[in-house]
A and B are shown apart, each in its own frame.
Chain A
Amino acid sequence: MPIKSYLAHPKTGEKQTLINALSLLNGCEVIPATNQDVVVVVTETSDDASDVILKDKIEHIDSLKLLALVSGFNTPQN
Chain B
Amino acid sequence: MYNSLSSRRNFIKKMAQLSAMTAAAAMFPGILFASEQEAGIPNSANLDWKKGPCRFCGVGCGILVGTENGKAVAVKGDPNCSVNKGLLCVKGYHQTMCIQSKDRLTHALVKKNGKYVKTPLNEALDIVANKMKSTIEAHGKDSVAMYTSGQSTIPEGYVASKLMKGAIGTNNLDCNARLCMASAVAGFLTTFGADEPMGCYEDIDHADYFITWGNNMAEMHPVLFSRMLEQKTRRGAKIIDFATRTSRSSTASDRSILFEPQTDLAVANAICYEIINNGWVNKSFVEKHCNFSKGLTNIGYGTEDKFNFKDKPEKIDFAAFKAFLNDYTPEKVEKYSKVSAKDIKYLASIYGDPNKKVVSYWCMGMNQHTRGTWMNNLVYNIHLLTGKISQPGNGPFSLTGQPSACGTAREVGTFTHKLPKGVVMNPKHRALAAKIWKVPVERIPAKPTYHATEMFRAVDRGDIKFIWTQVTNPLVSLPKTSRYRPAMEKDSCFVVVSDVFPTPTSDVADVILPASWHIEKSGLYGNSERRTQHWDKMVEGPGETTPDAWMTIEVAKRMGYGDLFPYSEENHVEEIYNEYRQFHEGAKHGMAPLEVLKKESGAIWPYVNGKSTQWRFNAKYDPACKEGSDFDFYGKPDGKAVIWQRPYEPAAESPDAEYPFWLNTGRVIEHWHTGSMTRRIPVLHKAMPEAYIEFHPDDAKALKIRDGENIKVTSRRGSCVLPASVNKRGLPTRGQVFVPFFDENMLINDVTLDAFCPISKEPDYKKCAVKVEKA
Contacts from A to B (Cβ < 8 Å): 1, 3-7, 29, 31-36, 38, 40-42, 44, 70-73, 75-78
Task: Let me know if A70 and B20 touch, CB within 8 A.
Answer: yes
Shortest C-beta distance, B354 to chain A (Å), equals: 32
A-B contact pairs, 6 of them (CB 8 A): A32-B33, A41-B20, A71-B20, A75-B5, A77-B5, A78-B5
**Tier of interface size on chain B:** 20 to 34
| Contact partners of B87 in chain A: CB under 8 A | 34
Kindly list the 4 A-B residue pairs having the minimum CB-CB distance in the complex, ordered from nearest: A5-B16, A5-B20, A71-B19, A34-B34
B176 at the interface (CB under 8 A from A): no
Task: Let me know if B13 and A31 touch, CB within 8 A.
Answer: no
Q: How far is the CA of A29 from the CA of B6 in the complex (A)?
A: 17
Task: Let me know if A42 and B17 touch, CB within 8 A.
Answer: yes
Shortest C-beta distance, A46 to chain B (Å), equals: 11
Considering only residues 1-45 of chain B, those with a C-beta below 8 Å from chain A are 5-6, 8-9, 12-13, 15-17, 19-21, 23-24, 27-28, 30-36, 39
| Contact partners of B229 in chain A: CB under 8 A | 35
Besides A3-B16, A4-B16, A34-B32, 12 more A-B contacts (Cβ < 8 Å) are A5-B19, A32-B33, A33-B28, A35-B30, A35-B230, A38-B28, A40-B24, A41-B20, A44-B13, A71-B19, A73-B16, A77-B5
Q: Given known contacts A33-B32, A75-B5, is B19 in contact with A7 (CB within 8 Å)? A: no
| Contact partners of A6 in chain B: CB under 8 A | 20
B226 at the interface (CB under 8 A from A): yes
Shortest C-beta distance, A68 to chain B (Å), equals: 8
Checking A3, A32, A41, A78 against B35 with a beta-carbon cut-off of 8 angstroms, the contacting residue is: A32
Task: Let me know if B17 and A35 touch, CB within 8 A.
Answer: no
Checking A7, A31, A73, A76 against B39 with a beta-carbon cut-off of 8 angstroms, the contacting residue is: A31
Task: Let me know if B31 and A73 touch, CB within 8 A.
Answer: no
| Contact partners of A34 in chain B: CB under 8 A | 31-35, 87
Most buried by A among B21, B33, B34: B33
- Per DSSP, are chain B's interface residues mostly helix, strand or loop, or mixed? helix
Q: In the complex, which residue of chain B has the Cβ closest to the Cβ of A72?
A: B16
Q: Given known contacts A73-B15, A75-B12, A78-B6, is B31 in contact with A35 (CB within 8 Å)? A: yes
Q: In the complex, which residue of chain A has the Cβ closest to the Cβ of B233?
A: A35
Q: In the complex, which residue of chain B has the Cβ closest to the Cβ of A8?
A: B20
| Contact partners of A31 in chain B: CB under 8 A | 17, 20-21, 33, 35-36, 39
Shortest C-beta distance, B735 to chain A (Å), equals: 34
Task: Let me know if B9 and A1 touch, CB within 8 A.
Answer: yes
Q: Given known contacts A35-B32, A75-B12, is B6 in contact with A42 (CB within 8 Å)? A: no
Q: Given known contacts A33-B28, A35-B226, A36-B24, is B16 in contact with A42 (CB within 8 Å)? A: yes
Q: Given known contacts A75-B5, A75-B8, A75-B9, is B31 in contact with A33 (CB within 8 Å)? A: yes
Shortest C-beta distance, B573 to chain A (Å), equals: 34
Task: Let me know if A36 and B5 touch, CB within 8 A.
Answer: no
Q: In the complex, which residue of chain A has the Cβ closest to the Cβ of B32?
A: A34
Q: How far is the CA of A76 from the CA of B230 in the complex (A)?
A: 43
Q: In the complex, which residue of chain B has the Cβ closest to the Cβ of A44?
A: B13
Q: How far is the CA of A5 from the CA of B21 in the complex (A)?
A: 9
| Contact partners of B23 in chain A: CB under 8 A | 7, 70
| Contact partners of B9 in chain A: CB under 8 A | 1, 3, 44, 75
| Contact partners of A41 in chain B: CB under 8 A | 20
Q: How far is the CA of A45 from the CA of B230 in the complex (A)?
A: 37
Task: Let me know if B32 and A73 touch, CB within 8 A.
Answer: no
Q: How far is the CA of A38 from the CA of B36 in the complex (A)?
A: 14
Shortest C-beta distance, B639 to chain A (Å), equals: 42
Q: How far is the CA of A29 from the CA of B229 in the complex (A)?
A: 27
Task: Let me know if A40 and B20 touch, CB within 8 A.
Answer: yes
Q: How far is the CA of A33 from the CA of B31 in the complex (A)?
A: 7
| Contact partners of B24 in chain A: CB under 8 A | 7, 33, 36, 38, 40
Q: How far is the CA of A3 from the CA of B12 in the complex (A)?
A: 7
| Contact partners of A1 in chain B: CB under 8 A | 9
Q: How far is the CA of A35 from the CA of B23 in the complex (A)?
A: 15
Task: Let me know if A38 and B16 touch, CB within 8 A.
Answer: no
Q: In the complex, which residue of chain B has the Cβ closest to the Cβ of A73?
A: B12
Shortest C-beta distance, B174 to chain A (Å), equals: 40
Q: How far is the CA of A28 from the CA of B226 in the complex (A)?
A: 28
| Contact partners of B17 in chain A: CB under 8 A | 5, 29, 31, 40, 42
Q: In the complex, which residue of chain A has the Cβ closest to the Cβ of B4?
A: A78
| Contact partners of B12 in chain A: CB under 8 A | 3, 73, 75
Q: How far is the CA of A3 from the CA of B20 in the complex (A)?
A: 12
| Contact partners of A35 in chain B: CB under 8 A | 30-32, 226, 229-230
Q: How far is the CA of A4 from the CA of B27 in the complex (A)?
A: 19
One digit per residue, 1 when the CB lies within 8 angstroms of any chain A CB and 0 when it does not, for chain B 723-765 equals 0000000000000000000000000000000000000000000
| Contact partners of A78 in chain B: CB under 8 A | 5-6
Checking B13, B19, B30, B33 against A70 with a beta-carbon cut-off of 8 angstroms, the contacting residue is: B19
Q: How far is the CA of A76 from the CA of B9 in the complex (A)?
A: 8
